[in-house]
């Protein structure tokens, strides 16, 4: 009985392996596309980041006030 369990554990489920490989490949493709998008549109990205700084500071102030109120 114990030997059967060990043999079943040794069997590799090919569907799971293929699914894992496809997920890794998809992750790498998305990573490369993301890096290319940042390189291509870095000026626009910086503009958005600069535009969000004010909103981020306001949010940080509101959170600080909420914590100080308690």
At residue 8, the pLDDT reads: 60
Q: Which of 25, 2, 4, 22 is nearest to 14 (CA)?
A: 22
Contact 31, 24 (CB under 8 A): no
At residue 2, the pLDDT reads: 58
Q: Is 54 helix (H, G, I), strand (E, B) or coil?
A: helix
At residue 61, the pLDDT reads: 96
Query: What is the DSSP-derived secondary structure letter of residue 11?
Result: S
Going from the first residue of the chain to its last (70 residues), give the mean pLDDT of each consecutive group of 10, the final group possibly shorter.
60 85 96 95 93 95 92
């Amino acid at each position: 009985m114990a030997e059967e369990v060990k043999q079943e554990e040794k069997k590799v489920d090919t569907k799971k392996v293929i699914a894992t490989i496809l997920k890794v490949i998809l992750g790498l493709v998305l990573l490369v596309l993301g890096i290319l998008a940042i390189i291509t549109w870095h000026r626009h990205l910086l503009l958005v980041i600069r535009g969000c700084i004010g909103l981020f500071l306001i949010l940080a102030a509101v959170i600080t006030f909420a914590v100080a109120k308690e």
